[in-house]
Structure 1
């Protein structure tokens, strides 16, 4: 049962988007089947949560590492979940696996009986969690990462770093491939192999990050949709539900700033 430590009113959802990290902490109910463009670490902030990977049976865990492109469902029943995405500009899922303890593998996902839940719960309970998230997440990843050797092709890593450094740019796949010395077809093959999702899907994930960042900055959903290049709010709402398995209104409205 979720029993929040703070006692001066309900805590609103918390989002943080910066550099190679995206973070959410807040209560969730049910997220239908969805997949992400980046690997994600999930942490039940106050207890276990229910998870279904692909067509496997439902199971419970306290932490999980879901690779990019892995379809999964979540059932929290209203309890808070910490969700940390790490862009694959240098490392793959190896950079997140040290955050899980007592692991087992199911259909490509790694599920833990325990793990590094306390730092994320502390951020959720921190009234200034929005401003504290950057340093706290950097510390957490530094702990996880006595980093493994890079596992991603250096050319793909350079392309991803360019996309992260120039969030408003929308280079074509041909231009991006040429900038790292590859043909478009070879680039797309290597990208899918390294990241786990096709380039087009990953670029869609980056556009979603821009929209979430715009909401964090104070834009309404319509303004955020336009700022990120969506045709309209309905297009943004549709892609948000496809990306996260639930409506944007459940986790993006009334967030902390």
Structure 2
């Protein structure tokens, strides 16, 4: 149920033609969605996320707390939140822990205030996202634009990940990487309890939850590329379409149709290998 008082601002200029549809860009370390949203129920992601209202502020509530009006925000992995955007376009950029996570995204915000573990800002790096949304041919240069944007952010990030967890994440990218937590623990040289604690501390979510996020990214890429929900769900390692739909709602706070109908998929996007067992 949406909040009774709207916190978003009306767009100060017409959005891109609706015929363009939402934009998705997925590659090895980034997942970017730009498009109109209305209300997303409480949900949590397996990766940190940068939010930017394309033309105005949006409403954000963290873990059932007070609603806040903001133009940009950074939500760490695993933090429950909900959005009230009022049908206006918003940019949603997730980056993987190999890019240093939330500390990198924090560099994209300005005039920030920390609230319940999230950063809420009155402005930030919005121009690149607006250009991607408004330009019909942005599918051809989305990857390069995000390279520039995150290159700037990475240079300003200060935190470095524990190398043992960085190694485990890198192994998940390769065809011969560990298929489960036991192999990941052995590779990192840590006991299962220590590995799980350190992984959650560094990434923001447990190992199993992060692998579920990887499966979700693969399914989104398949659907955006023309596959049916059923085929995409099986290909990414979900039991069936219902399992995929349930996890999608838990991850994004809305059913898959809210962002996958009429989608523009960046031609630069390459599907990431997903460990499913």
TM over 0.5: yes
Deviation at 1:19, TM superposition (A): 1.1
Q: 1:204 aligns with which of 212, 215, 222?
A: 212
State how far apart, in whole Å, the 2-side matches of 1:191 and 1:144 are: 23
Deviation at 1:159, TM superposition (A): 0.9
Q: Which residue of 1 aligns with 2:4?
A: none
Distance change >3 Å, CA 215–CA 181, structure 1 → 2: same
State how far apart, in whole Å, the 2-side matches of 1:97 and 1:16 are: 20
State how far apart, in whole Å, the 1-side matches of 2:243 and 2:233 are: 8
Distance change >3 Å, CA 137–CA 165, structure 1 → 2: farther
Q: 1:188 aligns with which of 169, 193, 196?
A: 196
Q: 1:83 aligns with which of 92, 100, 104?
A: 92
Q: 1:228 aligns with which of 217, 225, 236?
A: 236
* Equivalent residues of 2:219, 2:235 under 8 A apart: yes
Structure 2 residue 67 is matched with structure 1 residue 44 = no
State how far apart, in whole Å, the 2-side matches of 1:136 and 1:125 are: 14
Q: 1:175 aligns with which of 165, 168, 183?
A: 183
Structure 2 residue 109 is matched with structure 1 residue 100 = yes
State how far apart, in whole Å, the 1-side matches of 2:120 and 2:174 are: 32
Q: How does 1:104-253 map to 2 (within 5 A)?
A: 104-166=113-175, 171-253=179-261
State how far apart, in whole Å, the 2-side matches of 1:87 and 1:197 are: 12
> Gaps (5+ residues) in structure 1?
none
- TM-score w.r.t. the length of structure 2 is 0.87
Distance change >3 Å, CA 162–CA 169, structure 1 → 2: closer
State how far apart, in whole Å, the 2-side matches of 1:217 and 1:99 are: 29
Give aligned pairs, total.
Answer: 255
Q: How does 1:31-70 map to 2 (within 5 A)?
A: 31-70=40-79
State how far apart, in whole Å, the 2-side matches of 1:35 and 1:157 are: 22
* Equivalent residues of 2:233, 2:244 under 8 A apart: yes
Q: 2:21 aligns with which of 7, 12, 29?
A: 12
* Equivalent residues of 2:178, 2:184 under 8 A apart: no
Deviation at 1:150, TM superposition (A): 4.4
Deviation at 1:170, TM superposition (A): 6.7
Deviation at 1:194, TM superposition (A): 0.8
Deviation at 1:129, TM superposition (A): 2.1
Distance change >3 Å, CA 113–CA 256, structure 1 → 2: same
Moved more, 237-246 or 213-222: 213-222
Q: Which residue of 1 aligns with 2:6?
A: none
Secondary structure of 1:16's partner? strand
CA RMSD of aligned residues (A): 1.7
Deviation at 1:228, TM superposition (A): 0.2
Deviation at 1:20, TM superposition (A): 0.7
- TM-score w.r.t. the length of structure 1 is 0.94
> Gaps (5+ residues) in structure 2?
1-9, 266-277
State how far apart, in whole Å, the 2-side matches of 1:31 and 1:230 are: 23
Deviation at 1:90, TM superposition (A): 4.5
